[in-house]
Amino acid sequence: MAPPLARRQLLLGLGASLLAAPFTSLLRTPARADGGKRARRLLVFFSPNGTVHGRWRPTGGEKDFAFAKGSILEPLAARKSDLVVLDGVDFKGFDNHEPGMNGMLTGQGTLTHEGRGASVDQYIASKIGAGTRFPSLELGVQTSAWGGSRQTRMCYSAPDTFVPPEDSPKNAWTRLFGDLGKKPGEVDALLARRKSVLDVVRADLADLRARVGATEQHKLDDHLDAIRAVEKTLTTPVAASCAAPLAPIDLALQDHKNFPAIGRAQSDLAVLALACGLTNVASIQWTHTVSPTVFSWLGIGDGHHEPPTSRTRTRRGSPTSSRPSGGSPSSSSTCSTSSPRSRSPTAAARCSTRRSSCGPRSSVTVDCTTRSRCHSCSRGARGARSGPVAT
Amino acid sequence: MNPHRLLLAASLLVQACGGGEETPPIVEPCAGDFTYFETKVWQPILSVKCVGCHNEQGIARGSRLVLAAPSDPDAARKNYPVVRAIADTKLGEQSVFLLRPSMTHPDGHPGGNLLPVGSAGYQALATFVRHGEGRCGPDVTAKSCTETTVGARVLRRLSRSEYDATVEDLLGVPSAHGQALPPDVVVGGFDNNGAALRVGPIVAEKLGVAAEALAAATPLAKLTSCADDVTCFVKTFGKRAFRRPLQDGEIARYAKLGDAKTVIAAMLQSPAFLYRPEIGKSDATLDPWEVASELSYLLTGTMPDAALFAAAETGKLATRDEVVAQARRLLKDPRAARAMARFTGQWLYVDRLGAVAKDPATYPELTTDLKSAMVAETQAFVDRTLRVGNGTFRDLLLAEHTFASPTLAAHYGLAAPGDDGKVATGPLRRGVLGQGSVLTVHAVAASSSPIHRGKLVRERFLCQKLPPPPPGVVVQLPPFDPSKSTRERFAEHSKNEPCKSCHRLMDPIGFGFEAFDGIGRARKDDHGHPLDTKGEIVSTDHTDGAFDGLEGLAGKLADSPDAQRCFALQWVRYGYGVDDEPETQCATDRVTTAWAKGGMTFEALVLALVSDPSFLARQGDLGGTPVPDAGVPADDAGASDAAVEDTAPPADALVVTSKRDDYGTGYCDYVTVKNTGASARTWSVVRSPEGAITSSWKSKLVTTATAWTFTGESYNASLEPGASTDFGYCAKR
């Protein structure tokens, strides 16, 4: 599944793609902060259930491509020359439904592979994340109603070891910026106390480790590794290059009406964390593979993944079928890709085209809260602040 | 390899088609190979778990494993040569017959992990593979159920809800910190799996933040009478926090922290608090403190109360009679309703109702309040039927009443509840399967769903796991045609062969629910079409047959040994935090038997659970290293560890002993330092680097290219005469 790209080239493309979002002023400073070297960052952006390939793919060739009017990537047109769009990255023969989530960013690597079973974001974080407060930052939008499982997790530090996303913008904000604003004296005392506490915890871990067999020892070794990672986070002062933004408002995290608002807040936090130098690697995961989300704020009644059902179809006067082409997750994340098994959405669908182009990429709430027609939301989405980060 | 190689008839050879796989010269299988195949491989495994997809019309018809159906009287004989050939096909050293269903094949298995490595089914297949290699003796690695097949010694991390409940009981302050942790990993539908719940960096970080916040919020005066005396505080508070008395080393370690609040913050991050150890003693039985925690988390979802602690302290909990007596007592505890709610919510997935997305235009009635009322109904119904009323599994399915709120009763079109909160449902909506929570979660956004409801019954009531749709299958249904009923539309599944092989397991059951719409209301017709609620169950051991409507389905399940055993299995999963064969299978067999002997009441089920060997004992290796405070290294005769000589010269009067646990690609050294001199000493130990250190503990480490130098932490750097400490590290090569 090697894309015909050098890793460096890919990263450059990704770093630049961030600039396409309307955060240019935020990013300018840290991007040049370390002696004029170009910042190396990764943002993985996942949306489930396939895409509408006719609206996703650029027209033209490898270098002279263009984003057609009304296509998903059109908002990035101004930054086209900085972009590399990947397509057709192979799922390597594994199921793109439930197991696809697990395989998507890991390539189903094992401990004997270069990445030791980690997902590509975690692998890259291990290379470029060490100098930041958070080696990586995983944010989610309604990813976890079904709990943690291979179906709901895309980031892995090792085979089957999830790096779970934070679904709450408020919790994410607290984690990122909660310590900012404390007085230096308070901070020093706090850090010293944390250090001594973690020393005791470490000793307890060692005591317990001596009482258990190999399997549970590995569990405690992981715990000890986690403590070491936390120690770095909790006992070193924050060196962020910006002040904390206002905390996000409380949102009912499971209410699907809040899907656009949560997504927008998480996108803003990811951009701020990157801009403030708190991390170099972030991901935003919109729900999970085989997601049942209903984009009701766009006037759509069916679940994103479900077969068409009765009256919603009739009501909108569109008798055609509704599925986006491809399975799930034929993701549009930066590191992955669309499904190789994609089917062109020919006859299947005006409606699916409309739906998906308004889908998780829309982050406008105002335009779409009424049951307006889908394409009008699409227009709204193009003007939104948190558009997709293109591949 | 066996030297007596004989080529079999060419008809038995099936060409390997996967890259890298090879068909080795075949030796004559062991005598009785066909009988073994028929009774141990075909009947219990292939004919149940595999043939649904692996048949001529099935999804997996393109694979090498294409089986004759069980309905064919000659199926076993026809399938034997096919399976024998696949069993003899190797990828590297291993048979693809083992690699595929256990998901250890590099190309995976679209049907999922049906036979996990080590499961009873896997062992049966492994034995069959061995037979093909001419290895005919008993497989010493095979396990089978015995009276004493129990789980491994385990550390069970508190789940998110257990964390919050425990903190509230321990500190007397409310906590939502557990809920702010990353959602727990769900295994077998439950979020308290002992193997899956771990502490990774994000959990550790959040636990640290939570510990500080909780310590700050705790009113010390209410906790103990001796918050000013830190040693006293450590002993008294620590005993409740760790759910056992502290050892001397622990008391000293925590006392050094200086003040009660810091002690609380540290203890809330300690593995002694975060994990429930079910390690047991060298004779495999759990110690009374461990049993006290087991009982209380199983039945109340939180830490032991004072009476349980007292029973542990006096050693009474070492007897099965006392365990049973305590279980009976806790079942009556009001907190038990919370544990029941956790089971119910996860068993039926009704705890997902809040997140279920529906089309608000189709179902404007489904408000947040109504959703809450639905969940509350099911929680109350299960709790009052089973725990309070000591009812049976039959009652759960057949009761013709529920405990709905007035609003919810009106939603159902039923009369308002009486003084006892009961709402009569009649037979058409009887039992838990007729409740709004279940019917709403297991449906789609704008309609009912025979698929989802059939899947619920198949997976949660019959305990048969269904594979996800395999890659490449066109799952797009034909365009919606308002002239067709739901059943007619879903009939596409039974016409379309690749779909049929799996959907025949779901849809015909789900049709039985068609009298209810997508939010649990009774309906008289299906969008203008007459209702047809006839359904059928196929491919079970004891439950096959036709039925009509929920009334008929509930009746079939209530009397089904498959469903009863499945309910016991769900409690085994939830209660023991396990989902691995053979333990679950063996324990479920025993628990089901004991439950039946007790008259199938809920109390009989709980008592069967808590008096089973799986609850009271653990097997497997104990740790091979000295426990703190023991002072001398312990020999572990059973382990393969070899003691290694220390490579660095010990300082005067410091005796350094070391023990290595080597696993090939890496190793861990456990080092003990003892001061045999006459005065206090500060120690350091130098090792020659071998590989790269991945972790170390109870020591500070300085590494250079030529030396790894370990020195003590603040609490163990200095050793009094005669004192010892231990530290360790792991490295990969």
Q: Which of B207, B220, B225 is nearest to B259 (CA)?
A: B220
Alpha helix segments (H runs only) across B348-485: 368-382, 393-398, 406-412, 436-441, 450-456
User: A94 to chain B, minimum CA–CA distance in Å?
Assistant: 7
DSSP structural state of residue B74: T
Q: Looking at this predicted complex, what is its ipTM?
A: 0.72
Minimal Cα distance from B633: which residue of A?
A: A210
pLDDT tens digits for A311-359? 444 333 333 333 333 333 333 332 222 233 333 222 222 222 222 222 3
The Cα of B542 is separated from the nearest Cα of chain A by a number of Å equal to 30
Preferred mutation among A132, A216, A302 to probe B, highest tally of B CBs within 10 A:
A216
Interface of B with A in 401-430 (CB under 8 A): none
Q: Which residues of A touch B206 (CB under 8 A)?
A: 175
- Tell whether A296 lies on the interface with B, counting CB pairs under 8 A: yes
**Averaged pLDDT score across all residues of chain B:** 85
| Domain coordinates in residue numbering, chain A | 1-173+248-391, 184-235
Give the nearest chain A residue to B473 (CA atoms): A327
The C-alpha of A9 sits at a distance from chain B's nearest C-alpha, in angstroms, of 30
Identify whether the C-beta of residue B49 lies closer than 8 Å to the C-beta of residue B115: yes
Report which of B87, B79, B97, B98 is spatially closest to residue B24, judged by C-alpha positions.
B87
Per-residue confidence (pLDDT) for residue A235, from 0 to 100: 62
Residue B657 — very low, low, confident or very high, per pLDDT cuts 50/70/90? confident
Is it the case that residue A172 has pLDDT exceeding 80?
yes
Residue B367: predicted pLDDT: 94
CB contact under 8 A, A213 and B262: no
- Is the minimum CB–CB distance between A319 and chain B shorter than 8 Å? yes
Q: Which residue has the tokens 């007085």?
A: A183
Q: How far is CA A47 from CA A140, A272, A388, B511, B530, in A?
A: 11, 21, 10, 33, 40
Where do the domains of chain B lie, and which CATH numbers do they carry? Answer: 10-132 (no CATH), 154-330 (no CATH), 341-469+482-559 (no CATH), 642-732 (2.60.40.290)
Confidence of residue A125 (pLDDT cuts 50, 70, 90): very high
Q: Is A226 on the interface with B (CB under 8 A)?
A: yes
Please tell me the predicted confidence (pLDDT) of residue B387. 97
Which residues of chain A from 122 to 181 reach within 8 Å of chain B, CB to CB?
A: 138, 142, 144-149, 157, 161-168, 171, 174-175, 178
Residue A283: pLDDT band with limits 50, 70, 90: very high
Mean pLDDT of B432-453: 94
| pLDDT of the residue at B593 | 94
Q: pLDDT at position A386, please?
A: 30
pTM (predicted TM-score): 0.72
Name the pLDDT band for B254 (thresholds 50, 70, 90).
very high
The CA-CA-CA angle for residues B381, B383, B387, to 5°, reads 135
- Considering A126-140, A259-273, A360-374, B429-443, the range whose residues carry the highest mean pLDDT is B429-443
- Under 8 Å between Cβ of B618 and B279: yes
Q: Is the model more confident about B333 or about B94?
A: B333
pLDDT attached to residue B381: 98
pLDDT digits (tens, 9 = 90+) for B154-183: 999 999 999 999 999 999 999 999 999 999
pLDDT of residue B491: 78
Name the strand (E) or helix (H) holding B97: helix B96-99
Q: How many CB atoms lie within 10 A of CB B428?
A: 14
The answer, yes or no, to whether residue A239 has pLDDT greater than 50, is yes
Query: In chain B, which among 248-277 make CB contacts under 8 A with chain A?
Result: 249-250, 253-254, 257, 262, 265-266, 269-272, 275, 277
pLDDT confidence of A213, banded at 50, 70, 90?
confident
Q: Does A230 touch chain B (CB under 8 A)?
A: yes
| Averaged confidence pLDDT in chain A | 69
CB contact under 8 A, A254 and B271: no
| CB < 8 Å from B in window 89-108 of A | 91, 93-99, 108
What pLDDT is stored for residue B69 in this prediction? 86
pLDDT at A328: 37
Q: Mean pLDDT highest for which of A31-40, A273-282, B378-387, B717-726?
A: B378-387
Which tens digit of pLDDT belongs to each residue from B551-583?
999 999 999 999 999 999 999 999 999 987 667
Residues of A in contact with B195 (CB under 8 A): 215
Which range, of A58-62, A342-346, B645-649, B726-730, averages the lowest pLDDT? A342-346
Q: What is the pLDDT of residues B352-368, one digit of tens each?
A: 999 898 888 899 999 99
CB contact under 8 A, B468 and A99: yes
- Mean pLDDT to the nearest integer, B444-455: 91
pLDDT value, residue B465: 78
Q: Is residue A88's pLDDT more than 60?
A: yes
Which of B9-13, B551-555, B645-649 has the lowest average pLDDT? B9-13
